[in-house]
């Protein structure tokens, strides 16, 4: 999980809301293209084209608009309609099919999570083992460990395929760092953590960043 700094909502979405609000059918289910597509693009761009939870590469066809706080909670009230259209409650998650893959937004459904990618310190709650598994760092207290465990479980972040992809990302990183001097490694780390020329973050950014911090102190 990588921290996501929310920006302002796209103007087109704001205009759509202002217009739709005057009618009686105001809600996320009534939002369609092109506004929905513009919104989706904005969320992906904001995240550097990686999933808000697992950090795998996403594109329009392989992701969906995710509501951090459920847009359809069991106890529906009028305020929930606004939550479904609140840009700060929206993220882009992997999985375009409602039931596949079985992790991230598609697994979460209406369940709330304890640690959110919009929390500035969210990265501190997770560590990554050599076999691509996500855990809670050993120096975290019981409460933090429990929050991490539950979040990992609800989002299915230790899914077999995700673990394999993390291993591959770390193997590739190790290859890239081979034979480099400490200064070169520092420079490489900075480059790896930054957005690339296409405005994309490296897939599995969090696992890679954790490894750099743990083994190289950078
Ligand atoms: Zn994901």
User: pLDDT at position 72, please?
Assistant: 63
Backbone Cα Rg of the chain: 18
CA of 163 to the centre of ligand 1 (A): 12
CA of 116 to the centre of ligand 1 (A): 13
For residue 157, pLDDT over 80 is answered with: yes
Token pair 């999980």 is found at: 1
CA of 17 to the centre of ligand 1 (A): 28
User: pLDDT at position 99, please?
Assistant: 74
CA of 179 to the centre of ligand 1 (A): 33
CA of 42 to the centre of ligand 1 (A): 17
- 168: its two tokens: 């591959």
CA of 21 to the centre of ligand 1 (A): 32
* Percent of residues, the chain, with pLDDT higher than 90: 82
CA of 30 to the centre of ligand 1 (A): 25
User: pLDDT at position 168, please?
Assistant: 97
pLDDT digits (tens, 9 = 90+) for 128-137: 999 999 999 9
CA of 23 to the centre of ligand 1 (A): 35
Higher pLDDT, 172 or 101: 172
CA of 63 to the centre of ligand 1 (A): 8
Per DSSP, the three-state class of 134 is: strand
pLDDT digits (tens, 9 = 90+) for 111-121: 999 999 999 99
In sequence order, which residues have a C-beta less than 8 Å from that of residue 97 and are 6 or more positions away?
Answer: 106
CA of 19 to the centre of ligand 1 (A): 33
Give dist(CA 55, CA 53) in Å, integer.
6
Give dist(CA 89, CA 68) in Å, integer.
5
């Amino acid at each position: 999980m990588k921290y996501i700094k929310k920006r302002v909502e796209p103007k087109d979405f704001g205009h759509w809301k202002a217009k739709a609000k005057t009618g009686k059918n105001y809600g996320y289910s009534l939002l369609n293209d092109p506004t929905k597509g513009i919104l989706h693009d904005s969320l992906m761009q904001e995240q550097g084209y990686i999933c808000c939870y697992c950090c795998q590469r996403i594109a329009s066809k392989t992701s969906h608009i995710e509501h951090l706080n459920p847009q359809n909670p069991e106890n529906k009230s009028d305020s929930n309609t606004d939550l479904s259209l609140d840009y700060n409650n929206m993220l882009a998650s992997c999985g375009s099919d409602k039931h596949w893959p079985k992790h991230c937004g598609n697994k979460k459904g209406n369940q709330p999570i304890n640690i959110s990618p919009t929390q500035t310190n969210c990265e501190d709650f997770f560590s990554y083992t050599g076999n691509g598994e996500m855990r809670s760092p050993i120096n975290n207290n019981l409460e933090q460990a429990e929050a991490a465990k539950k979040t990992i479980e609800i989002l299915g972040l230790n899914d077999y395929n995700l673990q394999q992809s993390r291993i591959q990302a770390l193997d590739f990183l190790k290859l890239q760092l081979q034979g480099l001097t400490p200064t070169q490694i520092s420079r490489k780390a900075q480059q790896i953590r930054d957005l690339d020329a296409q405005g994309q973050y490296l897939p599995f950014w969090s696992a890679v960043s954790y490894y750099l911090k743990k083994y190289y102190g950078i």
